[in-house]
Structure 1
């Protein structure tokens, strides 16, 4: 309510000035009515045009990529190591720049045996597969299968050694007291890869490579957790992730090449050799069971036989007695 008595300052003012002051001070009915209407922005869709949709999609993809980069890095980054624009490329580059150069160079060099044996396995399996299908390979098939088996065993043995070495890194961090003394938890973590790696030597090469791939993946997950907890350097999780991707690609490529490009689709060359031996054995020893079509005859087995007669297929040219 507004007082009907004019203020002292306005008593001497002209009437129009007083009326204007009242209009400015009193809220209008239209303004009250407008304020009661809900905001029209909230009722609009998230993307009002194709351009807005593309922009929103790019922002969401960028945020997702940024979260992935942080997860790979262990979400344990210093403020000076992460740029203000936290994109996937910037986060990955900032963490990678912290890796000591000798560690980076020797780590990549450690993947060279995997690259060599993987490429050789795929090529040799392809050559043996061409020979088995009746084609003309560029390498003797027996030699290709022999070298292929050697490549598979080399890769499996090297994988067991490398997986054990990665576990030993945690023992070194414990000896150095990095992140404090953790005791049994960190020592047992370093021992687990050894228990996974060496039993794989008793498996066939494809099964051993798949088991080791699971071991490398699981160990990276553990390294990501230890990096987040501060048990390892900030760059350790990302460093291990990309090396594991490189090694895992070589291992899966070797298994796929030996299984699907080899002499027998879906099997390793070792199984192919066994099938060849079984086929030769079947040629030397006649089948003692099954069905025989055509004319048959009974032949006496003699005194040394374990039956009176033997039923066999009649040979061509034989006549009834």
Structure 2
């Protein structure tokens, strides 16, 4: 029998066979219960990928963040948008707190203070700052706050006196008092800068974190040079220089804290002092520039002609002006007299 006939006969027999002789399909396995699901770990290129145990449909229902694959926005509704904004703000505040805290931001240290939040991190680090250092450090800023408040008050009084509204206060005296208040604030700020820089010398002498040599000594010397140099400047320019110096010194102290050159709480302790001093400097600069004048030292200097005209209007008696119906005006060129007195109500 040829191969072609053999193949044809076999095919016809299989087609005409009864149903029980046919191959039955393999039944599908029963689904496993949800309780039997276990996390499966797949090692792919030295990276452990942990497969989720929840169904994909459930994950799609509870997902409220943007899809990194499809690029679709995660805020499908206003409720989702509010949730995403709240999460982003919380993460930003937490990152800011970690920057302020420097190196002291371990997860086990903040579990009792609200987790990895701004309050949790800052509260934990603030409790680790020695109480006597915190009290004395913030108390040292009280004279600086008083100096800034005095500067604002005297700037307002100088502006009133220069305009002629205050008869009892001479403009020269008001400007002199304002200049003295600004010089006191600059001098006190220079002392604070030099003291904060000297702390780095103390850490080096105590070999905290090991001897660092000229690197740490240079960090402590730089604010001293800036502080004493600012004493030879005009008060307004000196306050600007000191503001940048306080900010740069806090940044340097934060980096040295993270490097282990200072105690873990030192970065946040310095942050409180920098915020206090920086706010006072900005308030003094803003108030003095807004009200002025500052005896020639202000950024927004007032023109003398405008001040004289304003004083002439507010204090006419001191400038030979007597308001009334009669007015004396220069006579004409053809007149035989120099002054003509007339009634302004009739002319």
Q: TM-score w.r.t. structure 2 length?
A: 0.65
The Cα of 1:254 is off from its aligned counterpart by 1.2
Residue of structure 2 in register with 1:85 after alignment: 115
Conservation of the 8 A alpha-carbon contact between 1:130 and 1:263: no
> How do residues 290-305 of structure 1 correspond to structure 2 at under 5 angstroms?
none
Matching of residue 205 in structure 1 with residue 209 in structure 2: no
Among 61, 73, 86, the residue aligned to 1:58:
86
**Residue deviations 1:62-100, cap 9 Å, x none?**
011101110111144344422372001111111111111
For 2:141, the equivalent position in structure 1 comes to 111
Which runs of structure 2 are paired with 1:70-219 in the superposition (5 Å)? 70-83=98-111, 85-136=115-166, 139-219=169-249
Q: Residue 46 in 1 paired to residue 50 in 2?
A: no
8 Å Cα contact 2:292-2:298 kept in structure 1 = yes
Tell me, in whole angstroms, the C-alpha distance in 2 between the residues paired with 1:127 and 1:192: 37
SS at match of 2:198: helix
**Is 2:257 the counterpart of 1:227?**
yes
Give 1:25 deviation, angstroms. Answer: 4.9
Q: Does 1:258 align with 2:288?
A: yes
**Considering only aligned residues, what root-mean-square deviation do their CA atoms show, in Å?**
3.6
Distance (whole Å) between structure 2 residues aligned to residue 124 and residue 118 of structure 1? 10
Mark the CA change 1:52 to 1:210 in structure 2 (over 3 Å): closer, same or farther: same
Q: Distance in 2 between matches of 1:216 and 1:224?
A: 12
Contact 2:253 2:267 in 1 (8 A): yes
Mean CA deviation greater in 164-173 or 69-78 = 69-78
What is the aligned partner in structure 2 of residue 8 from structure 1?
Answer: none
Cα distance in 1 for residues equivalent to 2:293 and 2:229 = 27
Preserved contact between residue 161 and residue 174 of structure 2 (Cα < 8 Å): no
Equivalent residues of 2:194, 2:227 under 8 A apart: yes
Contact between 2:189 and 2:227, CA under 8 Å: does it hold in 1?
A: yes
Pairing of 1:241-280 with structure 2 (within 5 A)? 241-263=271-293, 268=298
CA contact 1:95–1:238 (8 Å) conserved in 2? yes
In structure 1, how many angstroms separate the alpha carbons of the residues matched to 2:98 and 2:234? Answer: 37
Q: TM-score, normalised by structure 1?
A: 0.70
* 2:26 counterpart residue number: 22
Per-residue CA deviations over 1:249-290 (Å, capped at 9, x if unaligned) read: 111211222222123799539x77x969xx9xxxxxxxxxxx
Contact kept? 1:77, 1:234, Cα under 8 Å: no
Take 2:167 and 2:186, find their aligned partners in 1: how far apart are those partners? 26
Distance 1:89 1:241 in 2: 15
8 Å contact 1:117–1:151 — kept in the other structure? yes
Number of matched pairs: 257
Question: Does the CA contact (< 8 Å) of 2:250 and 2:267 recur in 1?
Answer: yes
Q: Are residues 125 and 74 of structure 1, via their aligned partners in 2, closer, same or farther at CA, if it must alter by over 3 Å?
A: same
1:316: how far off?
A: 7.1
- Partners of 1:131 and 1:211 lie apart in 2 by 29
Check whether the contact 1:131–1:263 (CA below 8 A) recurs between aligned residues. Answer: no
Counterparts of 2:147 and 2:158, CA distance in 1: 16
SS in 1 for 2:128: coil
Alpha-carbon spacing, 1:213–1:45, altered in 2? closer, same or farther (3 Å): closer
